[in-house]
Amino acid sequence: MFFARLRKDLEAAKRNDPAARNKFEILLTYSGVHALSWHRFANRLYRMHLKLLARMVSQFAKFLTGIEIHPAAKIAAGVFIDHGSGVVIGETAEIEEGVVIYQGATLGGTGKENGKRHPTIRRNVTISCGAKVLGGFTVGEGARIGAGAVVLKEVPPYATVVGVPGRVVRINGARTEPDLLPEKEDPIARELLSLRERVAELEAALAAEGGMTAADAEKGEEHEDL
């Protein structure tokens, strides 16, 4: 069982990393593969109710790889953690086959839930660098989480999520938002326009009463100076 899962992990690394030359190199040098192997050992100890020993193994693996995985997390074979430094996977997280996780990603909780408080990641999801997926919801199959996104609610299958907080911008390749970065209104320009409109109103009121406009007043001052 252990070697069958290891073989799937190696195949996932070879499939998803164009820099991988062969499985032997992956086995010796890829920290993501090492972290998953250590996790499976820690998870087995955890299910045998040797929870302290399981946590010690997971912390030792974190020291070696820079990847922190709670021993109770459920991770299928065939998951790929690329580079992996800074990756954190929480206690009730569930990750299905084909998922790719890049460095700095967090599968965590918001600190407000009880029970299932970490996400479920369906098959073939990609979680990019620095993304944070926080809460006990589901990220649908084939979804893509953009770099640095903070996802706080359920993601539909084959969706692309970006931003803080995360929002769905594509589903099955079709855009769901016309503009990802709409132009912000300039408050200074708005104020200047308002002032110009007010001056025009005052000049019109003076002209209607037979008085001088602001322009006439300026001309009069110029004649006095002469």
Domain chopping of the chain, boundaries: 2-175, 187-225
Q: What is the pTM of this model?
A: 0.72
Paired tokens of 67: 């990847």
- pLDDT interval class at 225 (50, 70, 90): low
- As its CATH architecture, domain 2-175 has 3 Solenoid (2.160)
**Integer Cα distance of 198 and 218 in angstroms:** 18
The per-residue pLDDT for range 1-17, each reduced to its tens digit, is 778 888 888 988 889 88
Average pLDDT over residues 12-29: 88
Q: Give the lowest-confidence range in 8-17, 55-64, 127-136, 177-186.
A: 177-186
* % of the chain beyond a pLDDT of 70: 88
Give the CA distances from residue 156 to residues 32, 43, 77, 137, 141, in Å, rounded to whole numbers and listed in that order.
27, 29, 23, 11, 8
